[in-house]
Structure 1
Amino acid sequence: MTAKISYSDVEVGTELPAQTFTVTRATLVRYAGASGDFNPIHWNEKFAREVGLPDVIAHGMFTMAEAIRVVTDWTGDPGAVVEYGVRFTKPVVVPNDDEGATVEVSGKIGAKLDDHTVRVDLTATSAGQKILGMSRAVVRLA
């Protein structure tokens, strides 16, 4: 599949629309049920602190999935993503309140590649800290 965005319409440095996502404890419960990942670091404050974390943290795969939404919303076709990878640099700490945590994600075209593909470089932060490093997606454009 290919995206609705044309390869000829983008240049290196083109910015994708940034997005902000909210993560609450309820979000983590729903994700745990969908993914089957019931590790107590994602729901039990006492356990999370005992293993050296500041509090309950979001699932890494959830954080990764939220970040790529910037790309899939931009392309209009999730199937246009041909490669995606990240390094987890900081956890998303999710407080036990009505506010939760916010994840801010921006992206820009880092390179135009062969065969109508581009590399999108993503930046994801939460609480003012970079949470994903080397976050990159290769996307096939029209």
Structure 2
Amino acid sequence: MSLPSRTFIITRADLVAYAAASGDHNPIHQDEAVATAVGLPGVIAHGMYTMALAARAVADWFPDREVVSLGCKFTAPVVVPAEGGVEVLVEGQEKPGDDGTTTVALTVTCGGTKVLGVPKAVLGPVRG
């Protein structure tokens, strides 16, 4: 079953806040000159931040469930402009399992490009 899509906006301020929270102060996430010097198209979002947005969508879709696993591959950068922000779209397909778990196959895109490869979450049984 398809889940309602979620759109998140990522700004440079979000990257600064994520760096402070995570301890990941790699300058490719904040400094345009450093990012382009290493061959990137510009400042990019932390891959783990993008993955966290996918996790937020799953938590919003299933507030009464525990995420027991979440995984993906980082396949393309999310380039964040200096002004404004960039949209990340999270879509999901729910597949209930025979054991009470649910697998959510995710699609995470930015500008029509998949930025996470084979992202999926597994949810534990309904709490109650």
Report what 2:23 is aligned to: 36
Q: CA RMSD in A?
A: 1.2
State the identity as a percent: 53
Q: Output the CA distance in 2 between the equivalents of 1:114 and 1:139.
A: 13
The equivalent position to 2:13 in structure 1, one of 20, 23, 26, is 26
Deviation per CA, 1:64-117, whole angstroms, max 9, x where unpaired? 00011111101114x6111110011101000101x21110000012x4324200
Q: Output the CA distance in 1 between the equivalents of 2:102 and 2:17.
A: 33
The aligned amino acid for 1:107 is G
Report what 2:86 is aligned to: 101
Indicate conservation of the 8 Å contact 1:16/1:71, yes or no: no
Report what 2:112 is aligned to: 128
Report what 1:87 is aligned to: 73
Q: Output the CA distance in 1 between the equivalents of 2:68 and 2:116.
A: 19
Alignment of 1:116 with 2:103, yes or no, is no
Q: Output the CA distance in 1 between the equivalents of 2:48 and 2:31.
A: 18
Deviation per CA, 1:19-75, whole angstroms, max 9, x where unpaired? 000000011001111111100000010000011100000001100000111111011
The aligned amino acid for 2:104 is V
Alignment of 1:15 with 2:2, yes or no, is yes
Q: Output the CA distance in 1 between the equivalents of 2:14 and 2:55.
A: 17
The aligned amino acid for 1:31 is Y
What's the CA shift for 1:141? Answer: 3.2
Unaligned runs of 5+ in 1: 1-13
Per the normalisation by structure 1, the TM-score is 0.84
Alignment of 1:138 with 2:122, yes or no, is yes
Per the normalisation by structure 2, the TM-score is 0.93
Unaligned runs of 5+ in 2: none
Provide the secondary structure at the position in 2 that maps to 1:38: coil
